[in-house]
Structure formats: structure tokens, C-alpha cells
Amino acid sequence: MARNKITIIGAGNVGASCALWLAPMNLGDIVLKDIPAAGTMPAGKALDLLQCGPIMGYDSRIIGTTDYGPTEGSDVIVFTGGFPRKPGMSREDLVAKNEEVVVDVMNEVKRTSPNAVVIMVTNPLDTMAYVAYKTSGFARNHIMGQAGILDSARFRTFIAEELNVSVNSVQAFTIGGHGDEMVPLVRSATVGGVPLTKALSKARLDAIVERTRKGGGEVVQLLGTSAYYAPGAASAQMVEAILNDRKLIVPVAAYLDGEYGLKDMYFGVMAKLGRNGVEEIIEVDLDAEERAALDKSVELIRGTMGALVQVKPA
């Protein structure tokens, strides 16, 4: 039986962290792919990870490359490549530069791995997932974005810290866009089955929601660069759910065609992940306040999509 193949586009911090989390799962072969200018760096990181196998007890085969040949026939592709936003760079500049990267890569992906499920991590996340979908021509369920799992993990972490409980006792999710426009679902969050609204005061809840929305920025301020351990772990969880056909319900950026009254865009929603990618979108009942926050998130994402150059929304 053929082994699964997982390709990670971009061997930087997020991509390498994703490989680090994936390797012990023994899901299949891992390919770290980067641009030719990266030289031997992907091969070096792959070899280092490969040599962890005897210590950590895994048999995942890991290679690094700057060529698409070794990625051929990938089952899942995690897309972490692209440009970070730098001082002086506008949102439109970032969108245009990363759009170009995504278009170029997806044209190669549809040639070499036409049956792959693609997980977009490159920012602006929802917009880049849309570019990947439109460029590839893949089925909508085979292109998705990773942000909601990461944002939900931050939300759950801050709740657990506040209440001094295990994170496993906290059930809480975010939907919507990534960043300030996310929508933490406070009303449905629970701690040990107890509604979060009964466990914490509104003032503390509001503070946790705000910290969650600023979670990425807090890491940047402390670290001097974007987060990578948690984004890598979130991406790995999605890969595992797909390859093991887990039917795992988590927040992902999915293409909407009428859900929540939205069309022709990628947006963070609760979805069931399995071997066929996004197998079902679960619509959550929203109150007026949550719907207003969702609509604001939609407006911000539509604005970002308006900066696309090559792929124009309908």
C-alpha cells in the first residue's frame, strides 16, 4: 500500500514547525519544498528532522527540496510560503505579492498533485485560499484555510489560564476572519460543561476576547516575528484529521456558496474534516451581536479581496 505524501510549501518557521509536529504522527512521507533561492536549507532541515526519528520513535520519511518533482502525487499540501508584512508595506502590497506567489505555486500543484487537499496558511488567509481555489480549479472541499484552530487554541488557552483549569476542560471556538475581525463564540463556550458566561464576569470575558483577537500581535511583540509553533501544530492537526478521515469538527476557512447568506468567498466556519477535505459546513445559530460581528468580519475580508490583481472576485 502506497504511503501518504504530505508536502509543505515553505520551509521557514511555520513550515518546519508543521513538519516537526507531523513527523511523530507517522502519517506518511513529508516533503519540505522551498524556492530555489533557499539553496540547501530545506534539505538541511529535513535531514535534521529525519535524524530525530530514532530518538522520538517515528519512521516518517522526510526530504527537503527546491524542486516540484519530489512533491508529485501529494495527498495533502500545507501552503506556508509567501511574504510577511513588513514596515511600510500596505495591505494591498502584501495581497498583491502573496497573490503572485499563490498563483505560481498552485499552477504547479494542479500539474503535479491534482488530487491533493490544500491547506492555506499564508496571509491574508481567507483571500489567499480564494486565490488558490480560483487558480487551481480544484473542488471547493479540497481547498481550505487554517486560522480558526489557531485562534480557538489561543481562546481556550486564555480561558484555561484565567480559571486555572486544564485546556482539555475548555470547549470554545472562533469563526470569521483571522485577527481583529474574528468572532469568538462566547455564548456557546463551556468549561467542564458549564457555560463560560456563568464562569466568568463580562469584564473578564471581554478582556479574554480582546486578547484572543490580538493573540498574533502579542507574540510578534514578544518574539519579534510571527508565531510558528502553534500555527504549525494547528496545520498538523488538520492534516491528521484529513489523512485519518477523522470527521473532526473544527473551525476552518472554507468556500461559502450560500452558507450564512454568503457567496464566492472564503470565511472561517465550523466544518467537518475528513479524507475528502471539508466534508460538511456546520452553520452555528448566531444572536444579533454575533451576527453583527460576523458581518463586520465579512466586510473586512471583502475589502482585502478587492486588492487582488490577477484573481478578481465575481
Question: Once rounded to an integer, what is the mean pLDDT over residues 164-170?
Answer: 98
- The pair phi, psi for residue 278, each rounded to 5°, is -80, 100
| 61-75 pLDDT tens trace | 999 999 999 999 999
pLDDT at 291: 96
Superfamily (CATH H level) for 5-145: NAD(P)-binding Rossmann-like Domain (3.40.50.720)
CB atoms within 10 A of CB 253: 31
Q: What are 270's three cell numbers?
A: 465550523
Does residue 179 carry a pLDDT above 80?
Answer: no
pLDDT at 119: 98
Collapsed DSSP state (helix, strand, coil) of residue 61: coil
Is 178 annotated in the active site?
Answer: yes
How big is the CA angle at 186 (ends 183 and 190), to the nearest 5 degrees? 135
The closest of 145, 157, 183, 150 to 273, measured between CA atoms, is 145
Does residue 47 carry a pLDDT above 70?
Answer: yes
| 217-273 pLDDT tens trace | 899 899 988 899 999 999 999 999 999 999 999 999 999 999 999 999 999 999 999
Rounded Cα gap, residues 267 and 308, in angstroms: 16
Rounded Cα gap, residues 89 and 306, in angstroms: 17
Rounded Cα gap, residues 173 and 161, in angstroms: 16
| 291-303 pLDDT tens trace | 999 999 999 999 9
Question: Which residue do the cell numbers 519544498 mark?
Answer: 33
C-alpha distance from residue 29 to each of 76, 161, 268 (Å): 11, 36, 29
- 212 CA to centre of own chain: 16
Q: What percent of the chain has pLDDT over 70?
A: 98
| 48-58 pLDDT tens trace | 999 999 999 99
Q: Worst-scoring range by mean pLDDT, 4-13, 83-92, 133-142, 286-295?
A: 83-92
Question: Which one from 33, 154, 178, 272 is the annotated catalytic residue?
Answer: 178
Give the bridge partners for 30, in sequence order: 6, 62
For the chain, domain boundaries: 5-145
